[in-house]
Amino acid sequence: MNENIVKRNELWAQKVIKGLESRNMSGYYAASKEEALMKALELIPKGSSITMGGCMSAQEIGLVDAVKTPEYRFIDRYAAPDRQAAEREAYSADVYLASANAMTEDGVLVNIDGNANRVSAIAYGPKKVIFIVSMNKICIDVDSAMKRARNVAAPINAQRFGLATPCAKTGSCMNCKSPDTICCQFLITRYSKHPGRIHVILVNENLGF
Ligand code: SF4
């Protein structure tokens, strides 16, 4: 990454972190994937039960591999005989790993979901939620964050899962009501009632989409 972009993102991240703190959430800056992994592991006590939604960013920094070890209890919904039961276990897990589809420079997180297991667990249940968010997902305001979520993250996710949505064909949101739509629920997290629950690690590398 260009050194001026790195410098600008470092400064910008401080603004995002202040915004998060004003909303009873914690923010951290990581210059690299390696730093992000170290910070995330500091936040997860050994022995924790851990689960996640579809979170490419956690995979890309090596966090998923790091917690799929005997030191933790990783609830793997893909390996579970009953996937829905495993997803419901998320509500009582110690830690939930997530990313955001977008967030604002003043600390509001925006997520969209088809199945709603991810947005519901972010909103309520797991004792701690750790977001891994790359700086390329930061937007000026909620309106632009929502546009990013629907015109960047959603079409790529629809393509990733081979869904028959208009955005998978056109690359941008057509505001569909397709049976395959992944835009069933929109979650805007603007404040946390529970101190110490939501942690956001801002990573100065491009992760996820
Ligand atoms: S509403 Fe439909 S077209 Fe728009 S992003 Fe969501 S799935 Fe794609």
CA of 139 to the centre of ligand 1 (A): 19
Closest residue by Cα to residue 128 from 14, 45, 32: 45
Atom of ligand 1 nearest to the CA of 168: 8
How far from chain centre, in Å, is Cα 141? 17
- Identify the residues whose C-beta falls under 6 Å from ligand 1: 150, 154-155, 158, 165-167, 173-176, 178, 181-183
**CATH architecture label of 3-203:** 3-Layer(aba) Sandwich (3.40)
Please, are residues 133 and 100 in contact by the beta-carbon 8 Å criterion?
yes
Atom of ligand 1 nearest to the CA of 176: 2
Our mutation pick for probing the ligand 1 site, out of 147, 173, 177, counting the most ligand atoms within 8 A of Cβ, is: 173
78 falls in which pLDDT band (50, 70, 90)?
Answer: confident
Please, are residues 100 and 111 in contact by the beta-carbon 8 Å criterion?
yes
79 falls in which pLDDT band (50, 70, 90)?
Answer: confident
pLDDT for res 125: 95
pLDDT 10s digits, 87-118: 999 999 999 999 999 999 999 999 999 999 99
Atom of ligand 1 nearest to the CA of 112: 6
Please, are residues 16 and 138 in contact by the beta-carbon 8 Å criterion?
yes
Distance CA 115, CA 92 (A): 18
Distance CA 166, CA 89 (A): 33
Give the residue ranges of DSSP H helices in 124-205.
142-148, 154-160, 166-170
pLDDT 10s digits, 33-48: 999 999 999 999 999 9
Distance CA 153, CA 66 (A): 25
CA of 185 to the centre of ligand 1 (A): 11
**Domain boundaries, given as residue ranges, for the chain:** 3-203
